[in-house]
């Protein structure tokens, strides 16, 4: 096995979504991001992914800051409180950036309109991949209630990891993925990579369930002017599962840090639980102890 890279990166980020109370899976992702940032001498940014304003609640935004403080989680850039988030860091303020990239892709004739519903796609494609139904229909992009899809191909993409690199085409499930939704809002895939390019993120840490998203965002970055994202390093971490079967999620009502605190759970107990999941040889009771155990376990 190749040794882990000791390369220094400029910036990584945590990017929670304020659509529910943060849970143990979020805490695990934050802790792993912190450990990797310490390992590589990297600054951390807090980015709040709030594009879906219909699901955003101020109580969830407040919980986000409360939970980070409770867990003693530090960050160098991004909002420090709800007011800073609202005034300067909401993704709403970056809409011009997203639309600029959409315009660039349209200008390259890489975008087409799609009228297909999820139900129609599911009926024609059992695995959920888009069958390209509208690609040759030449529906005007100005039509109402259409998704904008990106014309994808099988070009090889390169994903840098800590100890090696992966080369693969875009996963079939992501063929001709959506970059602008029917309501006119940019998709998560587009906004996420545009944000990472804008802020200069070059160490991307996310869960195993988002590997397809990483390939998708690399595909977008490959179509844009030279950027650090295309050369960035990716780390996909294991997921905490609910009863060993399902990924913890806010939408599924998984146990939240907010709820655990109400039951009297301490941050020490939470870090201990995360350490058990990671299989550390000794118990950990703080973010610093988690970081040391994580990096010692992963030494070549």
**pLDDT at residue 242, rounded to an integer:** 67
d(CA 22, CA 71): 12
Domains, the chain: 11-109+188-297 (3.40.50.620)
Which residues in the chain come in under a pLDDT of 70? Answer: 1-5, 242-254, 299-300
Q: Which residue bears the tokens 């904008």?
A: 148
Q: Record the tokens describing residue 204, joined without a space.
A: 């991307």
Evaluate whether 168 touches 156 at the Cβ level (below 8 Å). yes
**pLDDT at residue 2, rounded to an integer:** 43
pLDDT digits (tens, 9 = 90+) for 243-260: 655 566 554 445 899 999
Q: Which residues lie closer than 8 Å to 134 by C-beta, 6 or more apart? A: 112, 113, 114, 115, 116, 149
Mapped onto helix, strand or coil, the DSSP state of residue 287 is helix
Whether the full predicted model's pTM is greater than 0.85, yes or no, is: yes
């Amino acid at each position: 096995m190749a040794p882990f890279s000791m390369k220094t990166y400029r910036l990584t980020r945590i990017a929670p979504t304020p659509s529910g109370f943060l849970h143990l899976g979020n805490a695990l992702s934050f802790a792993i991001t912190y450990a990797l940032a310490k390992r590589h001498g990297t600054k951390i940014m807090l980015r709040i992914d709030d594009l879906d304003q219909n699901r955003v609640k101020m109580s969830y935004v407040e919980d986000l800051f409360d939970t980070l403080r409770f867990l003693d989680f530090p960050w160098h850039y991004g909002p420090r409180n709800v007011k800073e988030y609202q005034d300067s860091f909401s993704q709403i303020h970056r809409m011009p950036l997203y639309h600029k990239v959409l315009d660039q892709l349209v200008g390259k004739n890489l975008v087409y309109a799609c009228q297909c519903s999820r139900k129609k796609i599911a009926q024609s494609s059992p695995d959920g991949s888009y069958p390209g139904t509208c690609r040759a229909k030449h529906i005007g992009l100005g039509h109402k209630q259409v998704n904008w899809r990106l014309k994808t191909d099988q070009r090889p993409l390169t994903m840098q990891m800590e100890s090696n690199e992966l080369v693969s085409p875009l996963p079939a499930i992501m063929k001709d993925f959506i970059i602008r939704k029917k309501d006119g809002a940019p998709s998560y895939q587009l906004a996420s990579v545009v944000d990472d390019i804008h802020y200069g993120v070059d160490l991307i840490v996310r869960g195993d369930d988002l590997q397809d998203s990483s390939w998708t965002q690399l595909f977008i970055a490959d179509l844009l002017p030279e950027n650090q994202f295309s050369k960035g390093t990716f780390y996909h971490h294991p997921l905490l599962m609910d009863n060993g079967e399902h990924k913890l999620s806010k939408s599924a009502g998984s146990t939240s840090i907010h709820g655990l605190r109400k039951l009297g759970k301490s941050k020490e107990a939470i870090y201990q639980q995360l350490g058990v999941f990671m299989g550390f040889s000794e118990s950990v009771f703080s973010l610093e102890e988690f970081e040391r155990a994580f990096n010692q376990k992963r030494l070549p």
